[in-house]
A and B are shown apart, each in its own frame.
Chain A
């Protein structure tokens, strides 16, 4: 902590010096009586001024979900008497003080321990660093002030609140491991596929007796096996539209967390690509560990201004396995992300795009050239969506007031229609 003299110290010193000098020059004892209190205060303050010693500890819940309350406790332990201790905990954006007092001024006796409890409201997902915790204290007579800050403060991880999805997009191709998706090829499974003549090695339980009776020879059932799939969640973090504390990136992150949760539960392999100024990726994996890795990676997602033209080639090959379904959540604001999506489609990836609409976050200007520019911009967005549709990519616009489930249903219906058209 740094020590500084309060304005009172300098003022009293000058008053004392002036008063005594004047007493000497004018020869008036009253001047000494007027000056003595200030001199006495100075002398007493310099003698008794001892830096207060105390310990500070800041603890908080480590993980919460968006919208929940967070309990933060500041524990102060005084080794010496503390006349006045001012404490201020700076809160990052995304956290708001719900209950408790900050900043606060307290006094402590020698050996006393106090716990100051604050209740914060986690308004937005992310990895929020609490603090710094600013501290200011003074001596008994207020002549010296000590100030400092506790810089090492806990990081609070606020997870996005996920929507519950009843039905999600089915990838077109499956992988080799057991899962919940009915594969198109035939093998061991529950879902009936076809019947065929019996061949050596077929188990007796697979014999279709009715078909065999009609054809007077043994026929067996064939099934579709249940397999897992590879799903890559593609989050566009090049640009976002924000208004009134909400933005397209918030929606995209929440939707990504919900999709990751839904696919992981089906035993699918889920990967993540955060495509923006800071490129991040997670290779596909299964299980709860992978889910937490994805959500922890999402917490660090933010829009970083960059002019660098990023392309898909720089991603490691294992990040985009063949036959994977790529679900992109993008506001389609940046040409680089649109270019990357078209590139993925041209490379033969199964792609679906959720257009996180920036229109609710960008109010239309009232009139004039601004309104014309706004209308041209919305037409440009329509053209981009049409271009993706023509490439065979299912695109559905998502606004905050529409449930994510409804948007996924729109994407499903397009994919069904597109498949029929190609056949």
Chain B
């Protein structure tokens, strides 16, 4: 129930963001939707194999929303631009889903689930800090 509410709220926030062309709403919509998904899986202790697809779908929604908000209606866009943009998004989503599947698969092959999760979490945190540092510097 709580998960459905969170997903619904995420959808509403996304629609509002598209209507008023506010880019800030997109990350919040993703966060709310992801929270709804995780809340729905709270009582299940095994790893969901479809999480990679869910991640890919969130990326697709985010990319399409950003494209729609960024699009300047005063511009006449030639078809080549649209085709290239769509192809890039499609390729990105496919690769992201594949990477997600690899990560999910790696989490299943482990000596101890807790240890693997902890190690992945530490590596991810370090990567996140390094990334933010790079962003700040650039």
Contact = CB atoms under 8 A, between A and B. Distances in A.
B127 A39 contact: yes
11 contacts: A11-B24, A17-B132, A20-B121, A24-B121, A30-B37, A30-B51, A33-B52, A33-B104, A36-B99, A44-B92, A141-B92
A25, A36, A41: residue with the most chain B Cβ atoms closer than 10 Å:
A36
Contacts of B95: 40
B27 A11 contact: yes
B55 A83 contact: no
Interface string A1-25: 0000011110111111111110111
Contacts of B52: 33, 36
Given A17-B132, A29-B103, A32-B120, A142 B96 contact: no
B27 to A, nearest CB: 4
A359 interface: no
B77 A29 contact: no
B42 to A, nearest CB: 9
A46 B138 contact: yes
Given A34-B55, A84-B85, A8 B23 contact: yes
Interface string B35-74: 0011001000001100110111011001000110010101
Contacts, number: 166
Contacts of A379: none
A406 interface: no
Interface stretch (A100-108, A117-125, A210-218, A311-319): A100-108
Contacts of A38: 58-59, 62
Interface of B: 23-24, 26-27, 30-31, 34, 37-38, 41, 47-48, 51-52, 54-56, 58-59, 62, 66-67, 70, 72, 74-78, 80-81, 84-85, 88, 92-93, 95-97, 99-100, 103-104, 107, 114, 117-118, 120-122, 124-125, 127-128, 131-132, 134-135, 138
Nearest to B30: A15
A23 B95 CA distance: 21
Contact of A37 (B31, B58, B67, B78): B58
B32 to A, nearest CB: 12
A89 to B, nearest CB: 13
Nearest to A6: B70
Interface of A: 6-9, 11-21, 23-44, 46, 83-84, 86, 101, 103-107, 140-142
Query: Counting chain B CB atoms within 10 Å of each CB, which of A24, A26, A32, A105 scores highest?
Result: A32
B117 A7 contact: no
Contacts of B78: 104-107
Contacts of B24: 7, 11
A29 B107 contact: yes
A298 to B, nearest CB: 35
Contacts of A11: 23-24, 26-27, 62, 66
Given A13-B132, A30-B48, A105-B72, 12 more contacts: A11-B23, A11-B62, A18-B31, A27-B117, A27-B121, A29-B120, A30-B37, A37-B58, A39-B127, A39-B128, A84-B81, A105-B76
